[in-house]
Structure 1
Amino acid sequence: MEPLKNMYDTAALQGIADIAAASVQPFDRQVFLQGVFAQGWEELELKQRMRRIATVLNSMLSGNYKNDIEQVLKFTNAVIKAQPANTFIYMFIPDMVEQYGQAHPAISLQAMERITQLISCEFAIRPYLISDLQGTLQQMLAWAEHPHASVRRLASEGCRPRLPWGMALPALKKDPSPILPILERLKDDPSEFVRRSVANNLNDITKDNPQVALDIARRWMGHSTHTDKIVKHGCRTLLKRGDTAALGLFGLAHEPECSVTGLQLLKKRISIGDHLHFSFSLVNEGTATVPLRVEYAITYAKANNKQGRKVFKITENTYVPGAVVSFSRKQSFADMTTRKHYAGKHTIEILVNGKRKASAELVVMG
């Protein structure tokens, strides 16, 4: 797969320069392009390229943030009007607000309201939450009633306590209660895009404050089909941990009368980049039809003789007494941006309602 940073190729940067030249006055295309493609460009990764574009563009403005943000918004409006197929390349716009606007929070938050309708400001808003939690959350609560779905989503996504790749929000990890009015306002949002963010925010809360999340889940269960889906997705980490209260919320017994038989690995020695192929059978040994959540967990060998465990869901279904169901799956051991593999001993476990029912070892070779 081609590296994502390559989206910032010559054609893309020339397109950015064309829109800027037509909307930002004065603007010198050549100065902009020379600054972006200056020494070291080829070695820069995605976020570093984004930061360079933001820095070069800002250097071409007046240096007066109140005036400059107006130019940035003109550029943003021009891009929105052009309706580009790929809006992700414009992530340098929120980065400008994050870098240069923190001394002017009111103006910057107002700008984010517009910019996020092109490209999400979920990362850019986080320093503002750290410097003024109450004031920023008050604005986000108001955004939860905005007519544009992307602005409503920012209200939830921007204050996630554990937003992946985002700046940490220690205060909200410790006490998520200031977030809850926003989630309450958005739990029945007409946009699935927004509701998915609410579920992810709830899942973040489960990691540091599981009881708070479970209280919300119990209150929302049965409220609507929307909230039922939010609760299920928002409790996924607790379910993967085999949390008794979370399992019970969805009618899953903590000690199901079932067994897993015949766990087999096609190969017990594989190389990094290969797939692990495995199979097993699930048997309902009870006398009643029961819902069962079937998962597998892999304990990975990590660097420095450490280990890391990750749970993968296979299915959640109901099984009649005596049912015997066979499963066959494969798991990639190719390196990804989110997971790097190391040589060493690994373990695979088959889980039913969070309980280990079978396990096997394999060796991954470098």
Structure 2
Amino acid sequence: MKERINRIADVFLIFWNLPLSKIEPKLLRLIELLKKNGVSDFNFPYIFVNDIVTKSGLNDFETSMRVFEKTTVFSSAEFAIRFYYQNYFEKTLKQMEKWSKHNDAFVRRLASEGSRPLLPWGIGIPAIKNKPEIHIKILENLWNDENEIVRRSVSNHLNDISKIQPELVIKFCESRFGVSSDLDKSLKHALRGLLKKGNEVALSFFDYDTNWKPKNLKLDLKKKKVKIGESLPFQIRFGNPTNKKTKIRIEYKIGFLLANGKYGTKVFQLGERMVDAKEEITINKTHPFRPITTRVFYPGTQNISIVMNGNELIQSEFELVKG
């Protein structure tokens, strides 16, 4: 994907072999014509327009920022802005802080999305990874933004930080609950990585009792051998041993065999629910092993475990075989 973006921008610049100040009106005219032909704003396939800016204007910070402010509304400049972090870190940081107060939601989103410590497919910026707190001011400006697309970006940014400095994200979130249900959802999305890791403080924000344990927990795999391309059906049975309603978060974790013989784990959510006193629960689930672009399946012994309120409680193994 990134190679295609790069190639399209290069081809444009064969014909527009000019500095960005001269390309700017041509680029904005291109966007105007695309819109007239029915192309909507914030359209990912046209993300190459921002690479045109970077390739022709990296030596012209002011013009680049002026153009990004317009192009990011049409197709996000989240990847392109990171080259300016590389070359003009402090100036870019100040520009992003300014954009976090912009009147256009897509520009405000850029301030959060383009500055993420672990932006997928974006070039890494060591100065951000090593000091993710530098963008807290931006996140404080945007966490309760009126636009969901901005709030979602802030949640993803905070989730990135939680992988580097979890205590920073916990501190950011802990005093912000209770403003509205929508904002509480955004904060929960920000904490999703810590919830999956069973972080006790994060779980406590949502009233999950990490000391709770189910009664008579059973994990029943309907197959012990699964072909790549097929699915693994399984069933969970358990009871609530207490005499009161209990809020539980249920997940399952699969240990995927890797090429080096080690295991990589991924957590999948089975749901959150209130369980009545002494209630008996049965959950049926099917996990697919069809080929996907983001994961290679290696035949051999894999494992699956059940996690409740952050505690890994029971595990079973199965064989993954070639289809």
Match of 2:158 in 1: 202
Q: Please, which of 270, 273, 277 is the counterpart of residue 314 of structure 1?
A: 270
Partners of 1:144 and 1:83 lie apart in 2 by 29
Q: Please, which of 103, 110, 115 is the counterpart of residue 147 of structure 1?
A: 103
Q: How is 1:161-310 mapped onto 2 (pairs within 5 angstroms)?
A: 161-259=117-215, 261-310=217-266
- 1:285 CA displacement: 1.1
Match of 2:14 in 1: 59
- 1:316 CA displacement: 1.1
Match of 1:48 in 2: 3
Q: Per the alignment, in what secondary structure is the counterpart of residue 147 of structure 1?
A: coil
The runs of at least 4 consecutive aligned structure 1 residues that moved more than 6 Å come to none
Contact 2:242 2:277 in 1 (8 A): yes
Partners of 1:240 and 1:195 lie apart in 2 by 21
Q: Per the alignment, in what secondary structure is the counterpart of residue 74 of structure 2?
A: coil
Partners of 2:66 and 2:205 lie apart in 1 by 40
Residue identity over aligned pairs, in percent, reads 35
Moved more, 326-335 or 88-97: 88-97
Distance 1:265 1:139, change over 3 A: same
Contact 1:252 1:291 in 2 (8 A): yes
Partners of 2:305 and 2:285 lie apart in 1 by 13
Aligned residue pairs total: 321
Contact 1:260 1:358 in 2 (8 A): no
Cα deviation 1:165-220 (Å, max 9, x = unaligned): 11112222222222111111111211111111111111111000000000001021
Amino acid at match of 2:165: N
Q: How is 1:32-111 mapped onto 2 (pairs within 5 angstroms)?
A: 46-84=1-39, 87-111=43-67
Cα deviation 1:54-108 (Å, max 9, x = unaligned): 1010110133232123322221232234331693321211122233322112211
Contact 1:349 1:357 in 2 (8 A): yes
Contact 1:293 1:316 in 2 (8 A): yes
- 1:50 CA displacement: 2.2
Partners of 2:193 and 2:144 lie apart in 1 by 22
Match of 1:38 in 2: none
- 1:260 CA displacement: 5.7
Match of 1:342 in 2: 298
Contact 1:187 1:226 in 2 (8 A): no
Partners of 2:22 and 2:283 lie apart in 1 by 62
TM-score (norm 1): 0.84
Contact 1:254 1:355 in 2 (8 A): yes
Q: Per the alignment, in what secondary structure is the counterpart of residue 297 of structure 1?
A: strand
- 1:115 CA displacement: 0.6
Contact 1:153 1:194 in 2 (8 A): yes
Contact 2:81 2:114 in 1 (8 A): yes
TM-score (norm 2): 0.94
Query: What runs of 5+ residues in structure 2 fail to find an aligned partner?
Result: none
RMSD: 1.6
Cα deviation 1:290-330 (Å, max 9, x = unaligned): 21100000000011212100001111111122111111111
Q: Please, which of 289, 314, 319 is the counterpart of residue 358 of structure 1?
A: 314
Distance 1:259 1:113, change over 3 A: farther
Q: Per the alignment, in what secondary structure is the counterpart of residue 175 of structure 2?
A: helix
